């Protein structure tokens, strides 16, 4: 694929309602998009980075800089044949996995279009429809949370994940379980606890949670393995898993029984598939996480979720839960069964509304082959 142009854009998109986790509140998203033009086709990538470096060490501004000055010029100087060529092209750059995923995923999108097949098929997906769950942020009051759960269950979602932190956990689980004894429920602490909270975390076992996601430090395996020995509830790792080696280490150490795969966190489709395969070979189920993406990132998550070992409902939900109007057409919708059918058209299957993207763009750069000349 000859790279004709790489255009990097930042868009501002307000969330329909603020999203609160143990590390902070997000009300407005700064969405970074890469548009790659190649031989008459256009591939899109979304950077799933947060506005502040609170989930990972990357932020909107670091990703912008690294894509513009390092990764973009590296890619523009090459003629990649496959999305899978990107890890080699970006090898010299350490870390910055969300920045890398932005460009790599756009190349996979181009490759699917070039081959005339869906992105799901190119990735090796086997599902024609995927099960969906929702991730519910920390609310001001428990009644407000219960009202939201009621609405999401009525919409058909198959799993409810509650964000939690000290002070917003057992009391909440108790109220939710009392009201809905049979639903599939999980929680996500985003590293809000320490090992000294182990006695408290053991009390979560009473609520029959499908999993507890990332209870301890964002970069830890060892203490999670200590904690898992004391818990009946399976631990799921999110932040800790940066690549296949991490997945192997975590599985070997029994730090988790489930893995959340996020495209940005692991650096793109190539590594996401590698994590998926490593987990599958060892009997560890995976599911696809979300990062409050626009329809572009969301369509990539949908394609990824069609791989065989994505056997649990992901945080892949409808556009309207986040956006008044999404930047793709059709917007992403979920069936009353809590499922998303997989588009079979070439590429992502959701068209980018280019006029809307242009209208919302606050900065834009066209990346040149050698932006930096030393």
Catalytic residues, by residue number, are 163, 262
What is the C-alpha separation between 208 and 328, in angstroms, rounded? 37
List the single partner that 291 binds among ligand OSB, Mg ion, none, CB under 5 to 8 Å by kind: ligand OSB
Per CB under 6 A, which of residues 44..63 are in contact with ligand OSB?
Answer: 55
List the single partner that 294 binds among ligand OSB, Mg ion, none, CB under 5 to 8 Å by kind: none
**Cβ distance 151 to 123 under 8 Å?**
no
What is the C-alpha separation between 238 and 255, in angstroms, rounded? 12
Per CB under 6 A, which of residues 189..208 are in contact with ligand OSB?
Answer: 190
Peptide bond just before 328 cis, omega within 30 deg? no
List the single partner that 169 binds among Mg ion, ligand OSB, none, CB under 5 to 8 Å by kind: none
CA atoms in the 13 A half-sphere facing the CB of 248: 7
Find the shortest distance in angstroms from Cβ 16 to ligand OSB: 12
What beta strand segments (E) does the chain contain? 5-21, 24-38, 41-47, 129-131, 133-136, 159-163, 185-188, 212-213, 235-237, 258-261, 286-288, 328-329, 339-341, 351-352, 361-367
Among residues 264, 290, 338, 349, the one that binds ligand OSB under rule CB under 6 A: 290
What is the C-alpha separation between 274 and 17, in angstroms, rounded? 35
Of 231 and 288, nearer to Mg ion (C-beta) is 288
Burial class for 34, CB neighbours closer than 10 Å (0-12, 13-18, 19+): buried
Per CB under 5 A, which of residues 168..197 are in contact with Mg ion?
Answer: 188
Q: Which residue is nearest to Mg ion (CB)?
A: 238
What is the C-alpha separation between 19 and 27, in angstroms, rounded? 6
* Closest to 123 in 3D by CA, of 142, 144, 104: 104
Of 104 and 238, nearer to ligand OSB (C-beta) is 238
238 lines the binding site for ligand OSB (CB under 6 A): yes
Which window, 70-78, 83-91, 209-217, 299-307, contacts Mg ion (CB under 5 A)? 209-217
Find the shortest distance in angstroms from Cβ 140 to Mg ion: 21
DSSP for 257-283?
Answer: SEEEE-HHHHTSHHHHHHHHHHHHHTT
Find the shortest distance in angstroms from Cβ 75 to ligand OSB: 26
315 lines the binding site for Mg ion (CB under 5 A): no
**Cβ distance 235 to 260 under 8 Å?**
no
Task: Count interface residues toward ligand OSB (CB under 6 A).
Answer: 12
Which window, 12-20, 178-186, 213-221, 360-368, contacts Mg ion (CB under 5 A)? 213-221
Q: Which residues pair with 11 in a beta bridge?
A: 31, 361
Which window, 91-99, 268-276, 287-295, 346-354, contacts ligand OSB (CB under 6 A)? 287-295
Per CB under 5 A, which of residues 217..276 are in contact with Mg ion?
Answer: 238
291 lines the binding site for ligand OSB (CB under 6 A): yes
315 lines the binding site for ligand OSB (CB under 6 A): yes
Find the shortest distance in angstroms from Cβ 10 to Mg ion: 24
**Residues making contact with ligand OSB (CB under 6 A):** 21, 55, 135, 188, 190, 238, 289-292, 315, 317
**Residues making contact with Mg ion (CB under 5 A):** 188, 213, 238
């Amino acid at each position: 694929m000859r790279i004709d142009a790489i255009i990097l854009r930042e868009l501002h998109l307000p969330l329909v309602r603020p999203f609160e986790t143990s590390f902070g509140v997000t009300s407005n998203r700064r969405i970074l998009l890469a548009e790659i033009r190649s031989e008459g086709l256009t591939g899109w990538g979304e950077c799933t980075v947060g506005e502040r470096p609170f989930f990972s060490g990357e932020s909107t501004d670091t990703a912008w800089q690294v894509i513009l000055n390092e990764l973009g010029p590296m890619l523009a100087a090459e003629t990649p044949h496959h999305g899978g060529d990107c890890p080699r092209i970006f090898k010299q750059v350490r870390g910055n996995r969300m920045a890398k995923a932005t460009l790599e995923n756009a190349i996979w999108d181009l490759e699917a279009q070039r081959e005339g097949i869906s992105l799901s098929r190119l990735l090796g997906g086997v599902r024609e429809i995927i099960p969906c769950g929702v991730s519910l942020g920390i609310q001001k009051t428990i009644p407000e949370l219960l009202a939201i759960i009621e609405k999401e269950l009525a919409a058909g979602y198959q799993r409810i994940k509650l964000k939690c932190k000290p002070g917003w956990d057992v009391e909440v689980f108790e109220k939710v379980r009392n009201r809905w004894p049979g639903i599939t429920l999980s929680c996500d602490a985003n590293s809000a606890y320490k090992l000294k909270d182990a006695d408290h975390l053991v009390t979560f076992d009473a609520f029959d949670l499908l999993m507890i996601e990332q209870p301890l430090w964002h970069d830890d395996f060892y203490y999670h393995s200590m904690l898992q020995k004391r818990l009946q509830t399976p631990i799921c790792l999110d932040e800790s898993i940066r690549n296949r080696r991490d997945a192997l280490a975590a599985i070997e150490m029994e730090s988790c029984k489930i893995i959340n795969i996020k495209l940005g966190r692991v650096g793109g489709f190539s590594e996401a598939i590698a994590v998926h395969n490593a987990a599958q070979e060892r009997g560890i189920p995976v599911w696809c996480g979300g990062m409050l993406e626009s329809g572009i990132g969301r369509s990539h998550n949908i394609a990824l979720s069609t791989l065989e070992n994505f056997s649990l409902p992901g945080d892949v939900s409808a556009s309207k839960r986040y956006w008044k109007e999404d930047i793709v057409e059709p917007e992403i919708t979920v069936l009353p069964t809590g499922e998303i059918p997989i588009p079979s058209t070439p590429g992502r299957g959701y068209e980018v509304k280019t006029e809307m993207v242009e209208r919302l763009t606050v900065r834009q750069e066209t990346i040149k082959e050698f932006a930096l000349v030393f």
